[in-house]
Structure formats: structure tokens, C-alpha cells
Structure 1
């Protein structure tokens, strides 16, 4: 079965970081993971900015693991599913992209 990573780069509204993190971890992630084909998710916080030529400047990263034979159907189910919004999330500045697994994993 094909595997994908959905990458979401986000920021909270200024001054509402605690509320944003509570919502993202305890409401948003479980709602997204309830979508058939989304098998898990993990959040990350920027540790050290190395370089950002894109100017995205995002503080938070969420990586969603997707396993599906029909990515379009999975994305359709995701788009149609009810989700609880948060006004603590700076949604206009968020950036989301999906990558298909390609190549073998290399370990060191």
C-alpha cells in the first residue's frame, strides 16, 4: 500500500501559543487521525532555525502518516470530515503539502 507524509507548518496567533498547542495536540490531531487512511501523526517544535530562504518562518511542524491505495479519496474524506476550528491558529499563514514515499530508508 502506498505511504505518504502530510506535512503541515503552522504558527499560533501571537500571544495564544498555549491555547494553540492544547487545541492542536488534543483536538486537531485526533480529528485528523480519525480520517480513514491517516494512521498517525506527530508534532514538532522548531529547535534551531538553520536557514529559511522561503521565508515561511513556521514554528511548528506536524507530520501525518497516510497509508492508502486511493489518495484522492482519503483527501476527500479529510476535506469532508468535521473538524473543530481554533482562532488561536494563524490559519492564513499555514502551509501544508503531501509527499509520497520514494526510495528506501537509510539508517546510520
Structure 2
């Protein structure tokens, strides 16, 4: 059994390849690490290290590292930090209660001392 592409002539095969290239180019843009780092707003070295060692989403074509726009979105989402309330906001939410000072704590038998009778 042979595939239909195996029976194509040279001109037909080139047309098929050109059509495939155009379809790929229309589908999604692939960015180099430099371009992706610029789009994400980070350093190129950090992005390369993340793809190589930390599992950032990426595509590898042989030795070429590429990032799709979806990969860039996912990397930004992975490193998105939720805003933290300021100290002033925390202070406003705390209940303002007055606590009575108990000194050193409740009296226990070991801490109670009796005065000798005179």
C-alpha cells in the first residue's frame, strides 16, 4: 500500500509542500526566543532556561527553540502573582480589641510562695 503523495510528480509535490507551508504560516506565528522574551517582557536567557529546565511550554524543531503566542500567554499566566494587600489594608481589617494584661500568667502551685508566719 502506498500513499497518494508517493505517486506525485515533482511539480505536484512542490505544490503540496507550498500549500502546507502557507497553511502553517496562516495558523500560528512562531517566535524566536528573543522575540518571545520581548513579547512577554522578560530576559531571553531566563526564557531559554525556563524552556530547557523548568518546563515552560515551547516548541523545538531540531535545535531551534520556538514559542507560539499561546505558549507566551501560558508562561505569563504561570508567573502571574496575585496582588497582596498592603500593611494598611491588613490593619484596617483587623479587629481592634483591647486586651487586659494578665501579668505573667495564672498562678500555678510552683509559682505560689508563702510567707513564713512571724
TM-score by length of 2: 0.20
| Structure possessing the higher radius of gyration over alpha carbons | 2
- When the two structures are superposed, what TM-score results if normalisation uses the length of structure 1? 0.21
Higher relative contact order (CA 8 A, sep 6+): 1
Larger helix fraction of residues: 2
